[in-house]
């Protein structure tokens, strides 16, 4: 773990997280996603509650009632995710005899249900879908086969993301690689080109799903603990068996024609969801000394307010600020937790179109305290060069 931080996956806690706000956050100017007033409101509420209850993280007590999974509701989530995905996959296979355009049309809702399935896999990694830790683990292992991911390794990497989100000194663990403007400008041109390619939407949302779902999870890290290695190898063996059986049953060509569009659509949507939740303009990045877990959740995790149908397919993950403050809350309780707790009402809020526009943001500008595009990063440098030449 980075810097010796201990991480408990269930509560995602660590030594630094036991501190509440260390100081009121800096006030920053507004922009397209102008949440400066909202951030100040949220920060004032945070400081007031933290001062009143300084002995422990204040949100635990307030959010504990929502972090109670209900077996019936969790089973309903499974029934409205996995079963429709399987049914639509069969329908896609049967539709191959009619029209591949029909297959592609069915792939759209099938991908939506696969995203929902991934959210349940994600909930299992936090121990929030079921009451039993063992039940969450075994269900997560099974769901991992649907989303091509080894459960234990993914849980480990995702826990690091929660423990380090928004920390400039602990980037690189379970997050989207993000450079500051200064770091980017200091790179040699080949490295700048590589970063540009990595952050290009065609690469991120086109090649990204292949790397994130099909290639990356198959690789066993050299420094992985034995349990993590077994998780990766076991998942690879199980997937090989399942894919081989399906290819034997329906043929490898039909398997690819059905699975490829669904996986690509679901993977692209999942990467976009993860990207915009932490890469919006008025995001939160701090060096470790000034980093706060509460600020990272309430200022660095957006409320992506999606249309109801997209909120359904994305499993309420747009309420990312609630999830990052207490990862033990199951996805079906996130909306209620947001609505019933005033502390969440001043968080950065993005619409669907705001999320689409956020894709252009590539770098963290330390001077202005916001995410900027490559063009915006070049502008101050060009102005400074012109002034120096006079």
Give 120-161 pLDDT, tens digit per residue: 999 999 999 999 999 999 999 999 999 999 999 999 999 989
* Cβ–Cβ < 8 Å for 75, 36: no
Q: What are phi and psi of 350, to 5 degrees?
A: -115, 140
**What CA–CA distances, in Å, run from 355 to 40, 141, 216, 239, 361?**
22, 31, 26, 33, 10
* Cβ–Cβ < 8 Å for 240, 181: no
Tell whether the torsion through CA atoms of 91, 96, 97 and 101 is positive or negative.
positive
Q: In what order do the strands lie in the sheet with 370-372?
A: 179-180, 363-365, 370-372
Give the Cα-Cα-Cα angle 204, 208, 214 (nearest 5 degrees).
180
Q: Tell me what pLDDT residue 337 has.
A: 95
Q: What are phi and psi of 363, to 5 degrees?
A: -135, 155
Q: Tell me what pLDDT residue 223 has.
A: 82
Q: Quote the domain boundaries for residue 306.
A: 2-388
* Cβ–Cβ < 8 Å for 217, 149: yes
d(CA 45, CA 39): 10
Q: Tell me what pLDDT residue 390 has.
A: 45
3-state secondary structure of 221: coil
Q: Tell me what pLDDT residue 51 has.
A: 45
Tell me the two tokens of residue 259: 């699975």
Listed in order, strand segments (DSSP E) in 272-318 are 303-304
Buried (b) or exposed (e) across 351-365, using 16+ Cβ within 10 A? eeebbebbbebbbbb
Tell me the two tokens of residue 321: 């600020």
Indicate the number of domains in the chain: 1
* Cβ–Cβ < 8 Å for 326, 307: no
Kindly give the parts of the chain with pLDDT less than 50: 1-55, 382-390
Long-range pairs for 335-341 at CB < 8 Å and ≥24 separation?
A: 336/66, 337/63, 337/66, 338/303, 341/62, 341/63
- If we measure between CA atoms, which residue out of 109, 47, 50 comes closest to residue 84? 109
Q: Tell me whether residue 207 is exposed, middle or buried, using C-beta atoms within 10 angstroms of its C-beta: 0 to 12, 13 to 18, 19 or more.
A: middle
């Amino acid at each position: 773990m980075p810097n010796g931080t201990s991480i408990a996956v269930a509560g995602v806690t660590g030594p630094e997280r036991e501190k509440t706000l260390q100081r009121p956050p800096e006030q920053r100017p507004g922009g397209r996603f102008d949440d400066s007033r909202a951030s100040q409101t949220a920060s004032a509420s945070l400081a007031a509650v933290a001062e009143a209850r300084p002995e422990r993280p204040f949100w635990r007590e307030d959010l504990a009632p929502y972090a109670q999974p209900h077996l019936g509701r969790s089973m309903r989530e499974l029934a409205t995710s996995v079963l429709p995905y399987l049914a639509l996959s069969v329908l896609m296979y049967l539709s191959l005899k009619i029209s591949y355009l029909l297959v592609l049309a069915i792939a759209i809702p099938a991908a939506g249900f696969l995203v929902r399935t991934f959210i349940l896999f994600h909930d299992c990694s936090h121990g929030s879908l079921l009451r039993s830790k063992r039940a969450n683990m075994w269900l997560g292992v099974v769901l991992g086969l649907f989303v091509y991911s080894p459960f234990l390794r993914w849980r480990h990497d995702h826990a690091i993301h929660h423990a380090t989100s928004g920390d400039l000194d602990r980037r690189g663990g379970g997050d989207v690689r993000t450079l500051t403007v200064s770091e980017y400008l200091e790179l040699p041109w080949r490295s700048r080109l590589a970063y540009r390619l990595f952050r290009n939407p065609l690469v991120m949302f086109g090649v990204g799903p292949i790397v994130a779902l099909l290639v990356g999870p198959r690789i066993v890290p050299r420094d992985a603990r034995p349990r993590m290695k077994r998780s990766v190898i076991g998942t690879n063996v199980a997937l090989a068996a399942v894919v081989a059986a399906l290819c034997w049953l329906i043929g490898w060509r039909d398997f690819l024609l059905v699975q490829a569009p669904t996986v690509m659509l679901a993977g692209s949507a999942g990467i976009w969801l993860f990207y915009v939740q932490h890469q919006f303009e008025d995001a939160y990045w701090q060096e470790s000394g000034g980093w706060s877990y509460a600020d990272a959740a309430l200022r660095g995790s957006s409320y992506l307010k999606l249309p109801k149908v997209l909120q359904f397919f994305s499993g309420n993950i747009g309420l990312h600020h609630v999830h990052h403050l207490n990862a033990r809350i199951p996805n079906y309780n996130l909306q209620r937790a947001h609505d019933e707790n005033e502390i969440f009402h001043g968080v950065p809020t993005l619409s669907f179109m705001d999320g689409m526009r956020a894709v252009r943001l590539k770098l963290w500008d330390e001077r202005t305290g916001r995410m900027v595009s490559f063009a915006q990063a070049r502008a101050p440098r060009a102005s400074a060069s012109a002034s120096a030449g006079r």
